[in-house]
Amino acid sequence: MSRYPKMFSRLEEEGSGAFVPFVMIGDPSPAMSEAVIEALIEGGADALELGVPFSDPVADGPTIQRAHVRALTGGAGLAVCLDVVKRVRERHPELPIGLLVYGNVPFAVGVEEFYAACADAGVDSVLLPDVPIREGSDFSRAARAAGIDAVYIAPPSASIETLDAVASASRGYVYAVSRAGVTGTESTASTAGLARSVKRLGQEAAAPVMLGFGVSTPEHVREAINAGAAGAISGSAVVKIVEEHSDALVASGSGDEAEGFAAARRDLVAFVSRMKAATRP
């Protein structure tokens, strides 16, 4: 069973929203990305969204595109990424873990085989950012068979028909995009249309709505929750911290005890702690 309902139920009892950081598995190396993930959890992440590197990440802005390149250069293919997830899962059995994977990856592996491998690693959900809801039925079917939540994106200013389709198909949570364009902090989040989307998605008994794209400050998190979202996802701001320390991380060795990791860990823990604090009253 997915770990998301238990997480959202706990947070509702606490009167808190969810904060979910995104980071690329394998950036800047598989071992160091595992240490980065542990720092995010230490900072108070309620769940994780982890990227699998891909050669043509069309939904991502320049910051996350560079993370794809660093991870691929470091040899982080799908099997390596799932090995990292499996080790994180062993240490954190109750933490919801989602993957963000471009559609060509499961298509190349075989859709059923891909979702089965994700389930074996302890993945809770898979979001395919380049697969619109109208093309998602085969992926949803395979995900459901493997016990994986299929997550879909509710685009900004989406039609009622699209919102209803996303609400019907999404499990775990719904990814509401705060603005048009690609990921990144170059353009900030906007909650102008989010309240409308959340209301409609809620009417259709959708999974809880999380706001993403351009979420980089505690104020963005507060705005998302005030608009009715269950929480917020932040990617580029987290990846940017990893990028700032990437040279030191690569040179330092591997693991959370590696020389050079202390500064990165400090910044990651502090960032997540500030963002998580914004989810509380």
- Which of 27, 38, 46, 60 is labelled catalytic? 60
204 is catalytic: no
SS3 258: coil
| Number of residues that make up the chain | 281
Cα 169 to chain centroid distance, Å, stands at 18
Among the listed residues 14, 21, 74, the one whose alpha carbon sits nearest the alpha carbon of residue 47? 21
Residue 60 is a catalytic residue:
yes
- Tell me the three-class secondary structure of 71-121, residue by residue: HHHCCCCHHHHHHHHHHHHHHCCCCCEEEECCCHHHHHHCHHHHHHHHHHH
Q: Of residues 38, 46, 49, 149, which has the active-site annotation?
A: 49
Nearby residues of 59 by Cβ (< 8 Å), 6 or more positions away: 102, 129, 130, 182, 183
List, by residue number, the catalytic residues: 49, 60
